[in-house]
Chains A and B, each alone.
Chain A
Amino acid sequence: MSVPAVHEFGYWWHRYRRTWRGTAVISIANPLLFVTALGFGLGRLVDERNSAYLHGGSYLAFIGPGLLAASAMQMGFIHGSGPVFQSARVGGNYRAAVTTPMEPSDIFTGHLLFTAFRATLDSAAILLVLLVFGAASPAALPGAVLTALAFATPISAYAVSTDRPAKLSALFRFVIMPLYMFSGTFFPAEQLPGPLRALVWLSPLWHGTELCRGSGPIVIHVLVLLALIVAGYLAGRRSYTRRLTA
């Protein structure tokens, strides 16, 4: 990793220092609302039925890691789309950075590093609350960070080259939202009808969720997420260069 990337990290850090209170509330409060409503509200209903799909655990213990992974995906989307798109436009930060010794790949790497940092911080905060409720294990943190990056990296690679924000909202509506619903966050993927159950393997969020729950073939989950990060990184180096040095 090249050293100049640190300066791009520094830029985002500088901005974050002034606004972190507001952003922390948004990125943490939301999952907590879910955990309260679903874990305690819906959870009571579910647990009474004693579903075999939960393998004897409580619904709260099930939904905790699921929400952690889903929030990580959402962080990946939030940090990889809007800020990248804005920064690449005329007047955006990238346009200034590229006139200095920074190269597009430094800018990309530095921004990603910051996203990883934010994802770690915010996931840790969510996890802390889940721990208090006994709804997750500390070992879930790396899985959450990997999940965030597995989304942020390819999404950044795409967002830098797109010319309309509408495409990013479409990405949210047609990719992120369905993944959120059908990746084993709210209910175990085994409950899905046959053909859909196989499709779940294609969902990066499902691998992230399983990783956060510590269930299934962990090595495969990690490899899938890493593959997305590597592919996104290679694509991003190219798309950043193409966009910022036309």
Chain B
Amino acid sequence: MNHTGALVSARGLTKIYEGPPEHVAVGGIDFDVRRGEAFGFLGPNGAGKSTTMRMIGCVSPRSGGELTILGHDAARDRRTIKARLGSVPQDDTLDTELTVEENILIYGRYFGLRRDVIRERTDRLLEFARLTDKRASRVQDLSGGMRRRLTIARSLVNEPDLLLLDEPTTGLDPQARHLLWERLFRLKQDGVTLILTTHYMDEAEQLCDRLAVMDGGRIVAHGSPRELIERYVTREVLELRFPLDRHEQAAEKARGIGERIEVLPDRLLCYTSDGEAALEEAGRRGLDPLTALVRRSGLEDVFLTLTGRTLIE
């Protein structure tokens, strides 16, 4: 059952929440996460990302399929697996009545670590999360972003081989996000395998070696960010905005520009290998946009192409 060299391997992995009404949250997915890589699940609300993460974290039993983690069956060897995992759930699970330091201590004790070992690691973890001066503060006095950083620091107390991060940067300000990316990058260089979920395209592009795009409980595409962009979209995009009352009429007129047109509620996207040429063509057709922008395609466009929906609403 051990798929070659994969740290995590799923085949036909399924999760059905028993109802009523019965709900298929994950509908039979296959993926392999290789040692040392950063693997991302990208998808809209309700796609099944957290459910998948919880199954990998051994806190949600699968309903069907196979799931092997670190060479062990996720249903059978939960303790062994969990001892080597770091886990950052989507909802914070910090104890708000305890201090920053105590949260790490209690959590470390759950792994059976000795107090002096935990104390020694706490110094480094707090520095990692830039919370050293908050050491004795109660968690209820921390900001949301600080709590997130503490949850991430805490998840490293057992020096995990595999770190699960469910929307690690949601709620962080841009500076904290970039700091965290840098820290995660460093962890990866130290050999920690990362699995993360995100709504953010830039995060996925920056952090992930490979991605699985999820929608409605299924993986609709996977590959590296670059592969996905090359496979599913043209090199450039022309974005046109019109006054709302002329929006539909303009969409009609624009038909046929570039290889494909995507009509969003607030703008038109023309997928093309040459954005400038498309813009000229639009001018020839008498289109008079409020704004026009030529840019390179990104994961957002991949997602739109695959699902017909934008990721961030």
A residues bordering B, Cβ < 8 Å? 3-4, 7, 10-11, 14-15, 90-93, 95-103, 244-246
Contacts of B107 in A (CB 8 A): 96, 100
* Chain A residue at minimum C-beta to C-beta distance from B51: A246
Q: Can you list 28 A-B pairs, Cβ within 8 angstroms, ordered by A?
A: A3-B112, A4-B112, A7-B109, A7-B110, A7-B112, A10-B106, A11-B106, A11-B109, A14-B98, A15-B97, A90-B91, A90-B93, A91-B94, A91-B96, A95-B91, A96-B107, A99-B59, A99-B82, A99-B85, A99-B87, A99-B89, A100-B82, A100-B111, A101-B79, A101-B110, A101-B112, A245-B60, A246-B17
Contacts of B87 in A (CB 8 A): 99
Asked whether A244 and B59 contact (CB < 8 A) given A7-B112, A99-B87, A103-B79, the answer is yes
- Please tell me if the beta carbons of B106 and A14 are within 8 angstroms of each other in the complex: yes
* Chain A residue at minimum C-beta to C-beta distance from B85: A99
Indicate the member of A14, A99, A246 with the most B CB atoms within 10 Å. Answer: A99
Asked whether A101 and B106 contact (CB < 8 A) given A4-B112, A91-B96, A95-B93, the answer is no
Contacts of A244 in B (CB 8 A): 59
Tell me the complex Cα distance, A214–B89, Å.
51
B159 at the A interface (CB under 8 A) = no
Closest CB of chain A to B184's CB: distance in Å?
A: 18
Tell me the complex Cα distance, A98–B59, Å.
7
Q: Which 10 A-B pairs have the closest CB atoms?
A: A100-B110, A96-B93, A99-B87, A95-B93, A101-B79, A101-B83, A101-B82, A7-B109, A90-B91, A7-B110
* Chain A residue at minimum C-beta to C-beta distance from B18: A246
Contacts of B80 in A (CB 8 A): 101
B61 at the A interface (CB under 8 A) = yes
Contacts of B111 in A (CB 8 A): 100-101
Task: For chain B, residues 88 to 140, give those with C-beta under 8 angstroms from any C-beta of chain A.
Answer: 89, 91-98, 102, 105-107, 109-112
Known contacts A11-B109, A95-B91, A98-B59, then 16 further A-B pairs from the complex at CB < 8 Å, ordered by chain A residue: A3-B112, A10-B106, A14-B98, A14-B105, A90-B91, A95-B93, A96-B93, A99-B57, A99-B59, A99-B85, A100-B110, A101-B82, A101-B83, A101-B112, A103-B79, A245-B60
Tell me the complex Cα distance, A99–B82, Å.
7
Contacts of A99 in B (CB 8 A): 57, 59, 82, 85, 87, 89, 93
B78 at the A interface (CB under 8 A) = yes
- Please tell me if the beta carbons of A96 and B95 are within 8 angstroms of each other in the complex: yes
* Chain B residue at minimum C-beta to C-beta distance from A97: B110
Contacts of B93 in A (CB 8 A): 90-92, 95-96, 99
Contacts of B59 in A (CB 8 A): 98-99, 244-245
Indicate the member of A15, A93, A100 with the most B CB atoms within 10 Å. Answer: A100
Tell me the complex Cα distance, A186–B251, Å.
83
How many cross-chain pairs have Cβ atoms below 8 Å apart between A and B? 67
Tell me the complex Cα distance, A62–B160, Å.
59
Contacts of B96 in A (CB 8 A): 91
- Please tell me if the beta carbons of B102 and A14 are within 8 angstroms of each other in the complex: yes
* Chain B residue at minimum C-beta to C-beta distance from A3: B112
Query: Hey, what's the 0/1 contact readout for B7-31 against A, CB within 8 Å counting as 1?
Result: 0000000000100000000000000
Tell me the complex Cα distance, A144–B107, Å.
33
Tell me the complex Cα distance, A102–B78, Å.
9
Closest CB of chain A to B117's CB: distance in Å?
A: 14
Closest CB of chain A to B4's CB: distance in Å?
A: 27
Query: Hey, what's the 0/1 contact readout for B207-251 against A, CB within 8 Å counting as 1?
Result: 000000000000000000000000000000000000000000000
Indicate the member of A4, A90, A97, A246 with the most B CB atoms within 10 Å. Answer: A246
Contacts of B94 in A (CB 8 A): 91, 96
Contacts of B61 in A (CB 8 A): 245
Contacts of B92 in A (CB 8 A): 91
Indicate the member of A90, A91, A96, A246 with the most B CB atoms within 10 Å. Answer: A96
Contacts of A90 in B (CB 8 A): 91, 93
Contacts of B98 in A (CB 8 A): 14-15
Contacts of B89 in A (CB 8 A): 95, 99
* Chain A residue at minimum C-beta to C-beta distance from B88: A99
Contacts of B110 in A (CB 8 A): 4, 7, 96-97, 100-102
- Please tell me if the beta carbons of B109 and A10 are within 8 angstroms of each other in the complex: yes
Closest CB of chain A to B64's CB: distance in Å?
A: 16
Closest CB of chain B to A73's CB: distance in Å?
A: 27
Closest CB of chain B to A92's CB: distance in Å?
A: 8
Contacts of A95 in B (CB 8 A): 89, 91, 93
Closest CB of chain A to B202's CB: distance in Å?
A: 28
Tell me the complex Cα distance, A15–B109, Å.
14
* Chain A residue at minimum C-beta to C-beta distance from B103: A96
Contacts of A3 in B (CB 8 A): 112
* Chain B residue at minimum C-beta to C-beta distance from A99: B87
Tell me the complex Cα distance, A4–B78, Å.
13
